[in-house]
Structure formats: structure tokens, C-alpha cells
Amino acid sequence: MLKGKTAVITGSGRGIGKAIAMKMASLGADIVINDIPQSEDADKTCEEIKSLGVDSIVVKGDVRNTADVQDLIKKTLDKFGKIDIFVNNAGVTRDGLMLRMSEDDWDLVMDINLKGAFNCIKAAARPMMKQRSGSIVNIASVVGVMGNAGQANYSASKAGLIGLTKTTAKEFASRGIRCNAVAPGFIESAMTDKLPDDVKKEYFKAIPLAKFGTVDDVADVVAFLASDMSSYVTGQVINIDGGLHM
């Protein structure tokens, strides 16, 4: 399904990003792992991917830094000669009620989640335009669609990412580049593990499928959007939330 493709996934040392990288590797894609310089997981993930019979490299860097992003693109092209798939997964949370939220916490979340994606799309689009092909997938969130108390910064960043997705799809469609987003709901991960039990119970009651999602649930949909199986799909946002928001 992805044999012969090259995929770059930001924030892919662990969590959802790692699951996406592993899924695409299992479908035949060569993988570029990108994570922050202090990540201890990126190299381990890279070795796991190579064990699946495809090639992989690690390029560490901060998506907020344009020089780091340019380095990511350059090293990918030097190694693989092309970029077929780019997944903007890097993200952080700094939750808190709006009246108590610091400016630093607002800026950090917006810079990584939204500005970082902008930097990466702008850089990755250039080689994709030359190829006249490419698929960009942005990892948004259901709270970017419906909002959530205590997550003003995160909700705003993910809502902005959805707007960026649609604009990217319109600007680059004529060059054969597609751009879509997924909006995960409550996905079991290290991030959600930190939530209090009462918060988890409230989420659970609101999910019609009566179960939490897994990182593989997200990876499966991202792989579909990255592949030629979705060649007539662009500018869309797919909720992966068990029916939490519909």
C-alpha cells in the first residue's frame, strides 16, 4: 500500500507518532523519525522500524525552528531523494483554566502545535511541488472542533491547524498535493494516562462506542489518508473519537 514511499513524521519517537511510523513502515514506506533533540526514544523507534525490512533515519530538531525544519527536509532528500508523505504530529499540552493560563503556556502550545506545522508544510511543499505529488496529514484534535474547558491554548492551536489544513489543500491541489487532518478524541496514551479518574469516567460516558481509542486507531486512518486509496480526498477532517462529537 505504501511500498516505495518516503514518509516523514514529526514527534514520532513515541506515542501516536510512533504508532503512525510503525504502521506506515509495516505497509512498506521508508520512514524519517523526527523528534526533539533530547528525545531518547527516536533511535529506538528507528531500529524497530528497520527490523520490519524498510529503511529509516532519525533527524532530531525543533519544529518551531525554521533552520531545524530545513535540516529535516534536506537530510530526508539527501537520503531518500523525495518526500511522499509528511505527517505533522508534534504537539504539546499545557492545560489550565483560561483565567489562570500564563502567556508562556499559551505561546508554547501555539508555537509547537500550529507554527511548527506551518513551518513544516511550507518546507515540505517545495519538493512535493517539484514532484507534483504528495500527501500531508495533520494531527488535530476533536477539541479543535468542539472546544474544551481548561484547554484554551490546545483547542485554539488544533482549530487553527484545521484551518491551515483546508487552506493548504486549496493552495496546493493544482500541484498534486493533498492535505487532510484527523481529529482524535480520547486516545489511550501517556498524555491521557495523567488525567484524573473522574475526568476519564466523564469522557467514557460521552462516547457512544463505549470505549477509548488506541494509537493504532489513529495510525490506521492516517495511513489511509497518506495512501493512494484516498487519492480523491483533500481538505477533510476525520474525527477518530468513537462518536464523541458528531
- The CATH number assigned to the domain holding 231 equals 3.40.50.720
Residue 100 CB: number of other CB atoms within 10 A? 8
pLDDT band at 192 (very low <50, low <70, confident <90, very high): confident
Mean pLDDT, the chain, integer = 96
The alpha carbon of 144 is separated from its chain's Cα centroid by a whole number of angstroms, namely 14
Average pLDDT for 57-77: 98
Q: Which grid cell sits at 62? A: 525543533
Average pLDDT for 8-12: 98
Give the model confidence (pLDDT) of 11-47 as tens digits: 999 999 999 999 999 999 999 999 999 999 999 999 9
In this structure, is residue 85 part of a structural domain? yes
pLDDT at residue 198 in the model:
84
CA distances from 22 to 13, 14, 120, 140, 171 (A): 10, 10, 21, 20, 30
Choice among 81-85, 179-183, 204-208, 219-223 with the minimum mean pLDDT: 204-208
Structural domain that includes position 50: 6-187+214-239
In this structure, is residue 208 part of a structural domain? no
pLDDT at residue 126 in the model:
97
Contacts within 8 Å (CB) and 24+ apart, 197-205: 203/244
pLDDT at residue 200 in the model:
83
Is residue 116 pLDDT above 90, yes or no?
yes
**Rounded CA gap, 106 and 125, in Å?**
28
Average pLDDT for 138-160: 97
Average pLDDT for 114-125: 98
pLDDT at residue 202 in the model:
85
Average pLDDT for 170-184: 98
Give the model confidence (pLDDT) of 153-175 as tens digits: 999 999 999 999 999 999 999 99
pLDDT band at 60 (very low <50, low <70, confident <90, very high): very high
- For 143, counting Cβ atoms within 10 Å of its Cβ (0-12 exposed, 13-18 middle, 19+ buried), the class is buried
pLDDT at residue 62 in the model:
98
pLDDT at residue 113 in the model:
98
Q: What is the CA radius of gyration of the chain?
A: 17
**Rounded CA gap, 109 and 238, in Å?**
22
pLDDT at residue 189 in the model:
80
**Rounded CA gap, 230 and 155, in Å?**
27
**Rounded CA gap, 154 and 91, in Å?**
9
In this structure, is residue 200 part of a structural domain? no
Q: Is the pTM of this model over 0.75?
A: yes
Give the model confidence (pLDDT) of 195-209 as tens digits: 778 878 888 899 999
Is residue 144 pLDDT above 90, yes or no?
yes
- Which residues participate in catalysis according to the annotation? 154
In this structure, is residue 244 part of a structural domain? no
Count of structural domains, the chain: 1
pLDDT at residue 199 in the model:
79
Average pLDDT for 106-121: 98
